[in-house]
A and B are shown apart, each in its own frame.
Chain A
Amino acid sequence: MTHSISIAGLVKEYDGRRVVDEVGFHVAAGEVYALLGHNGAGKSTIVEILEGHRTRMTGDVTVLGMDPAHGGRELRDRIGIVLQSSGIEDELTVTEAVDAYRACYRRPRPTAEVVAMVGLDEQADQRIGSLSGGQRRRIDLALGIVGQPDVLFLDEPTTGFDPAARRGAWELVRRLGEGGTTVLLTTHYLDEAERLADRIGVLSHGVLIAEGTPAELVARSGRTTVQFGLPDGTPADDLAGLVPRHATVDARRVSFATETPTAAVHAVTSWAVERGLELADLQVTRPSLEDAFLGLVEPADDGEELP
């Protein structure tokens, strides 16, 4: 399978501070890849290097077989970019803005189609200056896809969206992905990465610390949690040998993590059935991507954010 995006040994420093540290990954043609990380993890820097907006210090980077630092017009015609924050001419209407931007591509989508794809039909003739923040963000999306890009970069595409608008944007990205568009998106929303991405790369302090499908990441972090209420009149000591030593008992609720949930549940339930006990609220919980993510990265340094 050909790679739409290839990165190896990418390094970027700002004022001597390393914000991208030896990052490498590939995104296959037609794949949706999410870079997941806290603010300041280096996601946007990587994406802006791929878009050609930033220079890199060292490393090999290709997008559609071209070096983004020198790809020029040929590359920009085949990529779509939704920047994290960038203005549009407020004086234009939605339709006029899409018309203005689509004119410079070689194989643009029809304006009405793009406006409909992002759900702005009703606002098509409104001035952009009169739109809400979420609606403006949808124009960002519209201008990102108007050139029918082979590769679409989405830098935190749904920040500031209400839940309905977010689902709409997810639906759009999924449709684009199904249509063969390669998508690289950055997000700090785990549900977004889980819903959209074929694969996820987890960034922490400029280092790619994990990579895989959502299921792989979960499986990697992860041990399943078994929980149940201790039956009345049963001392916790009775469980000795039955549950792992690291099990905790809190307010008569037993909880432990295990890599072999089937065996663990069997042991506990057999024990209970033999004694005619009912285990209140027995739960077997798969770890979520959030658990996996939190297990991988340290908490964000709120005070450390570059301007």
Chain B
Amino acid sequence: MIATAPAFPSAPGLIGQQVRYQLRTFSRTPIAVFFTLMLPVTMLVLFNALFSGEEVNVGAGRLPLRHFYTGGLAAFTAVSATFTNLANIVPIRRDEGVLKRWRSTPLSPWIYIAGTIGSAVVVAVVGVVIVLTLGVVAYDLQVEAAKVPAAIVTFLVGVAAFAALGVAVASIIPSAQAAPAVANAIILPLGFVSDVFVAISDPPAWLDTVGDIFPLKPFVQSFQAAFTPAVEAPAFQWGPLARVALWGVVGLLVARRWFRWEPTRSTGRRRRRPREV
């Protein structure tokens, strides 16, 4: 009887279908859409209204402040869409039992994860395009064709690494309630020492070191480099990108080791009815 069964649907088709339906759930979650896509735009407008016309020193060279904000916030949007989003949504789906339900189907686990990450990357693309477009239209951002490959490679390395780190954090977070706190406690302080929200022209050495240890600053600076006239084309920042990629590998290893499909027995479970052993 197995012999007559048709073949399983193809992996690319299934991944595409997962991405589509996960994007649909994302687009119908207003709070996620706001924090991922609208907040960076709001910050871009506000920061430029408050502090414009100055120049700053960052790792990549001297930037007009408005370019600094556009590049930094675009990179930050990519991080929100991948790292923050996945660290939040995966524990929620796990606690609700959605992951366990998918685990009950013939869908391969890696395809589900690939679909989740793929949808986050699509959101990241949309967010980055929105921020950059606003930068070009309103804040005099120059996109040089010769640096576009560097921008794309930097973006891809970044979203891959931060998606892996998001799934890694989701794997070790005990419950969905803890997820937003943990994700924000990691990413917001890092944002301040990684040239996202403020340009620290002469930072204390230890702050510089902290920023350099974690992957956000190398990613943000590599991305900014692709959009500043101070850096010559092709503007690939291989050193910092290697550090970002290394963090991605660490994330991948953590996720592989600790990812769970079911809620922790003692925490987080929405007990709809008394559970039997």
Contacts and interface: CB of A to CB of B under 8 A. Distances in A.
A77 B106 contact: yes
A231 interface: no
B261 to A, nearest CB: 9
A43 B9 CA distance: 34
Contacts of B107: 104
Dominant SS at the A interface? loop
Contact of B106 (A76, A85, A88, A96): A76
Contacts of B257: none
A214 interface: no
A81 B102 CA distance: 10
B201 interface: no
Nearest to B105: A104
Q: Give the residue among A83, A104, A143 with the most B Cβ atoms within 10 A.
A: A104
A53 B103 contact: yes
Q: Give the residue among B17, B108, B270, B272 with the most A Cβ atoms within 10 A.
A: B272
Chain A interface category by residue count? 35 or more
B98 A96 contact: no
A51 B106 contact: no
Contacts of B96: 86-87
B277 A100 contact: no
A101 B5 contact: no
Given A89-B25, A92-B24, A107 B106 contact: no
Nearest to A85: B272
A76 B103 CA distance: 9
Contacts of A39: 274, 276
A127 to B, nearest CB: 8
Contact of A96 (B6, B21, B101, B104): B21
A100 B21 CA distance: 7
A305 B101 CA distance: 24
A53 B276 contact: no
B275 A84 contact: yes
A76 B8 CA distance: 12
A157 interface: no
Interface string A102-143: 011111000000000000000000010000010000000001
A40 interface: yes
A84 B275 CA distance: 8
B100 A53 contact: yes
B265 A307 contact: yes
By Cβ-Cβ distance, the 5 closest A-B pairs, closest first, are A87-B96, A86-B97, A91-B28, A104-B107, A77-B106
